[in-house]
Amino acid sequence: MHQKIYESVERFWQTSMLAALEDFIRIPALSPDFDNSWEKTGHLAFAVEQAKAWAQKQGIRGLKCEIVKDEGCTPCLLVEIEPSSADKFERSVFFYGHLDKQPENEGWDADKSPWVPVLQNGRLYGRGSVDDGYAFYSLLGAVKVMQELGFAHPRCVGLFETCEESSSRHYEAYLDKCRQRLGDIGLVIALDSTCGDYDRLWIVRSLRGMLGGVLKVQTLTEGVHSGEASGIAPSSFMVLRNLLDRLENSATGEMLPQAFKTEISDETVEENRQVAALLGDEVWSHFPFAGATQPLSRDALTCLLNRGWRPEMTVTGIDGVPKVENAGNVMRVFTAAKIGIRLPPGVDAVKASRALSQIVTENPPFQAKVSYSSTVESDGWTAPQTAPWLQKAFEESSQAFWGNAPCYFGMGASIPLLNVFSKTWPKAQFMVAGGLGPNSNAHGPNESLHIEYALKLIASIVWIVANYKE
């Protein structure tokens, strides 16, 4: 039976899903944070309309699709699929994914492009392929395969958004609006996640939270000759470095404030030790290091704990700095840095954000003008204890489709909505998985979907939903 499932999934990929994903890649459906004119350009609306039209052509029995949109808010696609038999479960299966995208980014290979799909070496390249346009087509495709093979399935519902890359700021209102139609949920499946390799089913047990904001330092009201001012006026960049040093040890990358940290349990360490033994140097070696650059640590366990359970900071943008080719001998007026801090699960993001603001704005060097504007405050997430039936389905799926046992680990990124789902449906189980594995490069150049892994993941969903229990 497992072989039939995989063959049906493979046929679905060739006859329907591949073309749909290629069409999706061609849409520059930038998330609102990266396209202020998103309503005028209409790309997000078109992505949702195209997904709806595709779904309605698949012949999925009991399917209803509806575009939900409030004024000024990005659209969502509400999906309802009636159960295959009269034996209805009290709680349904919920599908989550998103159809908005990150911007193009620079550095794509000459034969690839963010908006032109390319099939190469078993991967589908293009923006949104793995993050996470494939989720919508995969989840509905799994139901299609179940119906073709005669598997009974529970009621399945989904609410697919177009604002995930902009903090899902419209999603909770839509969730409340559609709450009655969605009903109670017993299993949430989200595919906007990662895998350690492509040799087994990877299930994410935890995700980090996120702080984001802009730290701005101003020391002058207009630019002045650096030969005249240096040694007298403090540079805004020097003050910015000093403030960032309050947050991070720049020699090691360790975050300093206790407000960002959590205690790591022995159970978590042991789980990560097993993953480290499995992956070894692959934990860090697949990153595109330049020249002789070394990772912060070559110890796999340390890397995993850093990524999943320790706070880490990244400066993702700088304002007030001209390009090198245009930089004269001028002391600049200001420097502003966009910073992102990943928080371990269990750390209160709102409290951590207040602490961050206080740390960087109190008593600035030389009484410089300093401001911090918070843009993101989201908590991390930890999965509830896995039910025996779901644990068994994970094991059976991984063995059947990959020939290896599944692996469980923590993801370094964030999916803020998982906390919303946990609070909305406290009895729900979770399957958080995805194709964001080595060299998939979501958000960066050459984003790609590992096709074989995606097909096996769809096959696993077929098996898991077919074995759904309450």
For 421-448, what is each residue's pLDDT tens digit? 999 999 999 999 999 999 999 999 999 9
Cβ distance 192 to 135 under 8 Å?
Answer: yes
Q: Residue 167: inside a domain, yes or no?
A: yes
Cβ distance 228 to 419 under 8 Å?
Answer: no
What CATH number does residue 411 fall under?
3.40.630.10
Q: Is the pLDDT of residue 183 over 90?
A: yes
Overall average pLDDT of the 91-119 stretch? 97
Say whether both 131 and 220 belong to one domain: no
Say whether both 150 and 81 belong to one domain: yes
Q: 167 pLDDT band (50/70/90 cuts)?
A: confident
Say whether both 347 and 453 belong to one domain: no
Say whether both 107 and 235 belong to one domain: no
For residue 120, what are the β-bridge partners? 123
State how far Cα 145 lies from the chain centre: 26
Convert the pLDDT of each residue in 367-383 to its tens digit.
999 999 999 899 999 99
Say whether both 87 and 174 belong to one domain: yes
pLDDT at residue 88, rounded to an integer = 76
* Residue 34 CA: distances (Å) to CA of 31, 95, 159, 416: 6, 26, 22, 19
Q: Residue 178: inside a domain, yes or no?
A: yes
Q: Residue 283: inside a domain, yes or no?
A: no
Say whether both 409 and 326 belong to one domain: no
Say whether both 320 and 448 belong to one domain: no
Rg (CA), the chain: 23
List the alpha helices (DSSP H) in 236-337. 236-247, 266-279, 282-285, 300-309
Based on the structure, what is the number of domains in the chain? 2
Say whether both 403 and 363 belong to one domain: no
Say whether both 370 and 385 belong to one domain: no
Say whether both 367 and 349 belong to one domain: yes
Convert the pLDDT of each residue in 262-321 to its tens digit.
999 999 999 999 999 999 999 999 899 999 999 999 999 999 999 999 999 999 999 999
Q: Residue 250: inside a domain, yes or no?
A: yes
Convert the pLDDT of each residue in 190-231 to its tens digit.
999 999 999 999 999 999 999 999 999 999 999 999 999 999
Q: Return the DSSP state at 264.
A: P
Say whether both 351 and 459 belong to one domain: no
Q: Domain range holding 130?
A: 2-207+380-466
What is the C-alpha to C-alpha distance for residues 184 and 166, in angstroms, rounded to an integer? 27
Q: Residue 158: inside a domain, yes or no?
A: yes
Say whether both 195 and 317 belong to one domain: no
What CATH number does residue 245 fall under?
3.30.70.360
Q: Residue 201: inside a domain, yes or no?
A: yes
Going by DSSP bridges, is the β-strand pair 63-68/209-218 parallel, antiparallel, or unpaired?
Answer: unpaired
pTM of the model: 0.90
Q: Residue 133: inside a domain, yes or no?
A: yes
Q: Residue 450: inside a domain, yes or no?
A: yes
Domain boundary among 377, 398, 426: 377
